């Protein structure tokens, strides 16, 4: 018998995994399944990025790089912060990682001791609690309420803080809700973190996907003190449709970045060299594709949102960013005779052939997550199927 380490025995498999497996099985059996579970843009990586990566390989850039990443890429990232947020980061304040996910993983490993607490607002991106646990930390959940657009209030943050609190995660725009924190809201939360000396982990991976009149604000840009208190996590996965390239980064306090770089030097050595060249091109080159993808997402959102909330028993706050809808379907589940939203999701897949992710995986079991990172035709068909599925059972 193989005895696995305790730390992996308690790992929860990704919420999307079970539903994706089931959807795949149905597809293999010949069923016409529509998957709305995807967490990645459906567009190709812009061609000039692919070309630049190919050129770099042909020029012989196929060896290790410095653990922190290529100087040229660090400079491009620094420039991005300067242009977008007016933030100044020096080279030793940035670490390039194998995706934003690995930036977060490495960060938790270097800041958490056993029992240290990390405050995570719900609903949360599925990997936060698992990564905290892998670093022997303790996730402390702050329950988001739909009436406050699922955003953590300063009162909630204050109440969740103990003498073991090490950090708080802010993910704006949010996966799965698509909600954005305003500058005022961030300032109020940041004030508390400064008073209690709590590190702010600001996951800004959906920064470029912002709709309507909304704008992205990084908590780090609100004051020099907040900048010093914050580690920003970002990357090119969602902005430039480069999920498979695995390039993300962390920026902030040089002591933390140095420790993370040390750890990276013993775990990954460096992010894939070719992918780093692609990321340089992503930041250096034209940003038209970023804008075009954003506009496509926004158009889809506007078309399907009204159709979604017209379904009996389904309500949904309108997302301000990212590419997910996070409707509350508790009433729809009850109306159609399902005992739980998880069961409703299973029924939806089996009978209507639409795969969505149950909110239980994100810490809010009344909701489901629909990704609109798929073509408008397919989305409209999916929403029509969900509508018909609910109507047929009323
Ligand atoms: N943070 C959030 C909120 C995400 O949704 C994701 C990807 O799904 C990531 C981080 C990780 O991004 P990457 O693909 O760069 O690791």
Q: 106-133: per-residue pLDDT in tens?
A: 999 999 999 999 999 999 999 999 999 9
Q: How confident is the model at residue 333 (pLDDT cuts 50, 70, 90)?
A: very high
Q: Is 171 touching ligand 1 by the criterion CB < 6 Å? A: yes
pLDDT at residue 62, as a whole number: 98
Does the pLDDT of residue 323 top 70, yes or no? yes
The pick from 97, 206, 238, 247 for probing ligand 1's pocket by mutation, whose C-beta has the most ligand atoms within 8 angstroms, reads: 238
Q: Read off the pTM.
A: 0.97
Residue 129, ligand 1, Cβ within 6 A: no
38 Cα: distance to centroid of ligand 1 (angstroms): 12
pLDDT tens digits for range 160-187: 999 999 999 999 999 999 999 999 999 9
Residue 151 pLDDT > 80, yes or no?
A: yes
Is the model's pLDDT at 37 over the cut of 70? yes
- Residue 60, judged by CB atoms within 10 A of its CB (0-12, 13-18, 19+), counts as exposed
Q: What is the rounded distance in angstroms from the CA atom of residue 123 to the CA atom of residue 106?
A: 22
CA of 243 to the centre of ligand 1 (A): 9
Is 243 near ligand 1, meaning CB less than 6 Å away? yes
Closest ligand 1 atom, residue 203 Cα: 1
Percent of the chain with pLDDT over 70: 100
Neighbours of 33 (CB within 10 A): 18
ipTM value for the complex = 0.99
What separation in Å is there between the alpha carbon of 283 and the centre of ligand 1?
18
The structure tokens listed for 240 are 């430039």
Give yes or no for residue 207 CB within 6 A of ligand 1. no
Is the C-beta atom of 248 inside 6 A of ligand 1? yes
On the CB side of 308, CA atoms within 13 Å amount to 25
Pairing of strands 165-171, 117-122: parallel
Å from CA of 14 to ligand 1 middle: 13
Tell me what pLDDT residue 73 has.
Answer: 98
pLDDT over 70 (residue 15): no
For residue 54, the model assigns a pLDDT of: 98
| CA of 100 relative to ligand 1 center, distance in Å | 6
Q: Which residue has the higher pLDDT, 13 or 241?
A: 241
Distance CA 67, CA 378 (A): 42
Nearest CA to ligand 1 atom 12: 100
Q: State mean pLDDT over 188-216.
A: 98
pLDDT for 119:
99
**Look-up of token digits 């902030």:** 252
Three-state secondary structure string covering the chain = CCCCCHHHHCCCCCHHHHHHHHHHHHHHCCCCCEECCCCCCCCCCCHHHHHHHHHHHHCCCCCCCCCCCCHHHHHHHHHHHHHHHCCCCCHHHEEEECCHHHHHHHHHHHHCCCCCEEEEEECCCCHHHHHHHHCCCEEEEEECCHHHCCCCCHHHHHHHCCCCEEEEEEECCCCCCCCCCCHHHHHHHHHHHHHCCCEEEEECCCCCCECCCCCCCCHHHCCHHHHHHEEEEEECCCCCCCHHHCCEEEECCHHHHHHHHHHHHHHCCCCCHHHHHHHHHHHHCCCHHHHHHHHHHHHHHHHHHHHHHCCCCCECCCCCECCEECCECHHHHHHCCCCCHHHHHHHHHHHHCEECEEHHHHCCCCEEEEECCCCHHHHHHHHHHHHHHHHCCC
Q: Determine the pLDDT at residue 22.
A: 86
C-beta of 100 in contact with ligand 1 (< 6 A)? yes
To the nearest whole percent, how much of the chain has pLDDT over 90?
94
CB of 235 within 6 A of ligand 1: the answer is yes
State which ligand 1 atom lies nearest to the alpha carbon of 236.
15
Residue located via tokens 């996907």: 209
Q: Is 86 left (phi over 0), alpha (psi -120 to 50) or beta?
A: left
In this predicted model, what pLDDT tens digit does every residue of 76-111 receive, in sequence order?
999 999 999 999 999 999 999 999 999 999 999 999
Average pLDDT over residues 46-55: 98
* 244 vs 239: CA distance, rounded Å: 13
Ligand 1 atom closest to the Cα of residue 40 is 8
* Unique residue bearing structure tokens 């609100």: 222
Q: Closest Cα to atom 8, ligand 1: which residue? A: 39
Q: Look at residue 16 and tell me whether its pLDDT is greater than 80.
A: no
The Å distance, Cα 49 to ligand 1 centre, comes to: 20
Q: What is the mean pLDDT of the chain?
A: 96
Q: Which domains does the chain have, with CATH numbers?
A: 6-44+289-391 (3.90.1150.10), 49-284 (3.40.640.10)
Write down the residue that tokens 């389904």 correspond to.
Answer: 314
Interval between CA 173 and ligand 1 midpoint (Å): 12
> With a 6 A CB cut-off, is 237 part of the ligand 1 pocket?
yes
């Amino acid at each position: 018998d193989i005895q696995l380490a305790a730390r992996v025995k308690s790992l929860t498999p990704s919420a999307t995994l079970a539903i994706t497996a089931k959807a795949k099985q149905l597809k293999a059996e010949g069923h016409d399944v529509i998957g709305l579970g995807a967490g990645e843009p459906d567009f190709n990586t812009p061609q000039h990025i692919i070309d630049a990566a190919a050129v770099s390989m042909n020029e012989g850039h196929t060896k290790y790089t410095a653990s922190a990443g290529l100087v040229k890429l660090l400079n491009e990232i620094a420039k991005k912060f300067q242009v977008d947020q007016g933030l100044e980061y020096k080279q030793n304040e940035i670490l390039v990682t194998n995706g934003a996910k690995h930036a977060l993983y490495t960060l938790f490993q270097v800041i958490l001791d056993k029992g240290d607490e990390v405050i995570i607002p719900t609903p949360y991106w599925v990997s936060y609690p698992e990564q905290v646990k892998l670093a022997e930390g303790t996730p402390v959940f702050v329950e988001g309420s739909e009436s406050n657009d699922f955003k953590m209030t300063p009162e909630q943050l204050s109440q969740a803080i103990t003498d073991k609190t090490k950090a708080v995660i802010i993910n704006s725009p949010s996966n799965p809700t698509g909600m954005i924190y305003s500058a005022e809201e961030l300032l109020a939360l940041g004030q508390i973190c400064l008073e209690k000396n709590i590190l702010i982990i600001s996951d800004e991976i959906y920064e470029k996907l912002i709709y309507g009149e909304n704008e992205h604000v990084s908590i780090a840009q609100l004051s020099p003190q907040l900048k010093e208190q914050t580690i920003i996590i970002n990357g090119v996965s969602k902005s430039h449709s480069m999920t498979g390239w695995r390039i993300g980064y962390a920026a902030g306090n040089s002591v933390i970045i140095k420790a993370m770089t040390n750890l990276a030097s013993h775990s990954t050595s460096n992010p894939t060299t070719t992918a780093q060249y692609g990321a340089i091109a992503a930041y250096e080159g034209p940003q038209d594709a970023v804008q075009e993808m954003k506009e496509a997402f926004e158009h889809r959102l506007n078309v399907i949102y009204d159709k979604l909330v017209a379904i009996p028993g389904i309500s949904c706050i309108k997302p301000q960013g990212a590419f997910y809808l996070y409707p509350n379907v508790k009433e729809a589940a009850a109306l159609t005779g399902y005992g739980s939203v998880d069961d409703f999701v299973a029924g939806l897949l089996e009978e209507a052939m639409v795969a969505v992710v149950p909110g239980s995986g994100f810490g809010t079991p009344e909701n489901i997550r629909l990704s609109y990172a798929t073509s408008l035709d397919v989305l409209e068909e999916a929403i029509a199927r969900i509508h018909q599925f609910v109507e047929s059972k009323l």
